[in-house]
Amino acid sequence: MRNGLILGLLAGLLVASGCHKQEKLHLFAWSEYVPQEVIDGFTKETGIPVDYEVYDSNEAMLAKLAPGSAQYDVIQPSEYAVEHLIHREMLAPLDFSQIPNVANLAPDMRDLPYDPGQKYSVPYMTGTVGIVVNTETVKDPIHGFADVFQEKYRGRIVVVDDDREIVSWALSTLGVPINNMSPENLAKAKPLLKRWLPLIKVFDSNDPKRPLLGGDVDIGIIYSGDAAMLYQQDHKFQYILPTEGAHQFIDNLCVPAGSQNKAAAYAFINYILRPDVSKIISDKFPYTNPNAAARKLLSPEQLANPASYPQAGHLDVFHDIGQSAADVAALMTELRGQSD
């Protein structure tokens, strides 16, 4: 098998360059996002153990990284975090001669705006943040954020625990571009957020599907992968892209500038991009797979999941907002304190 030959050659290069079985690949990635069988398979084929450390937000990841840090070899930032890290020269340019499986990416997942020329990042998985409705308990039509945040749904809503996401929903509702988080626009959003936040029962980015499955809530604004798993379990959970527009996130694999094991990092990224390996990731975490070759291996049921592969809607990616991130955090800290 050609991919096995490539991995074998890479493993040989790792040994020749001083990478041996006693060394580890230090992976810093989102929680519950890289299947253990993928990590085990990589170690089995290359002899390189993987130390998998997790985070639950881009901000937590960025806070732990330091310029020139040698702590990690592969990280998994979302699109705006990639942009942030590029601006601060904290990522290593990738040697794509060692990542031939990058050719498996769909054309629309290459050379993306947050990484012009695709020098520093490889898409791992993409998805949206949208609305999930338990159609057995919610009978009124839900089309957008304004439909969710109504008094009649007080205490029946779960949302991702992400300040920027939540603020972006208010901006979208007001017709303001989601990346324009100026002080003036945050001031416009504040009254709306002040009304919305007390209606929310659960803030959860790690497992927002749990309260929906348990019947503790009826509506969620959550990641599409979680929504897809809900739909797999019961078609009563309908996924809706908000009419105001939805955030399309693109999670990537990158190598920090200070990585001490770049050859191992390239081997890992190339392994992830193998169609059979990428399919395992889709099987476990049914987001939208950017790997066109892997999509060909998915079942018709997987491709028909409306959360994994939703109908076209208005989608926006986040960009690095610089110092405005601190203003967003301060606003949400104030409002969350008032809604407790």
pLDDT in tens, 128-183: 999 999 999 999 999 999 999 999 999 999 999 999 999 999 999 999 999 999 99
Q: Which pLDDT does position 31 carry in this prediction?
A: 87
Are residue 11 and residue 114 in the same domain, yes or no?
Answer: yes
3-state helix, strand, coil split of the chain in percent (to 5) is: 45, 20, 40
Q: Of 270, 269, 271, 274, nearest to 254 (Cα)?
A: 269
Q: Which domain holds residue 87?
A: 2-126+250-303
Q: Which pLDDT does position 69 carry in this prediction?
A: 63
Are residue 324 and residue 226 in the same domain, yes or no?
Answer: yes
How open is the CA angle 103-78-47, to the nearest 5 degrees?
Answer: 60
Q: Which pLDDT does position 6 carry in this prediction?
A: 45
- Paired with 223 in beta bridges are 129
- Paired with 288 in beta bridges are 126
CA 6, CA 21: separation in Å to the nearest integer?
18
Are residue 154 and residue 164 in the same domain, yes or no?
Answer: yes
Q: Which pLDDT does position 2 carry in this prediction?
A: 37
Q: Which pLDDT does position 68 carry in this prediction?
A: 61
Instruction: Using a cut of 0.75, tell me whether the model's pTM lies above it.
Output: yes
Q: Which pLDDT does position 97 carry in this prediction?
A: 97
Task: Collect the ranges in the chain with pLDDT lower than 70.
Answer: 1-22, 67-69, 340
Are residue 107 and residue 236 in the same domain, yes or no?
Answer: no
Are residue 16 and residue 110 in the same domain, yes or no?
Answer: yes
Are residue 120 and residue 137 in the same domain, yes or no?
Answer: no
Residue ranges of E strands in 150-241: 157-159, 200-203, 219-223, 237-240
- CA-to-CA dists, residue 330 to 145, 212, 265, 285, angstroms: 22, 29, 36, 32
Judging by DSSP bridges, how do beta strands 157-159 and 200-203 pair with one another?
parallel
Total domains present in the chain: 2
Are residue 187 and residue 317 in the same domain, yes or no?
Answer: yes
Are residue 159 and residue 274 in the same domain, yes or no?
Answer: no
CATH of the domain at 198: 3.40.190.10
Are residue 197 and residue 295 in the same domain, yes or no?
Answer: no
Are residue 208 and residue 281 in the same domain, yes or no?
Answer: no
Are residue 172 and residue 233 in the same domain, yes or no?
Answer: yes
Are residue 291 and residue 210 in the same domain, yes or no?
Answer: no
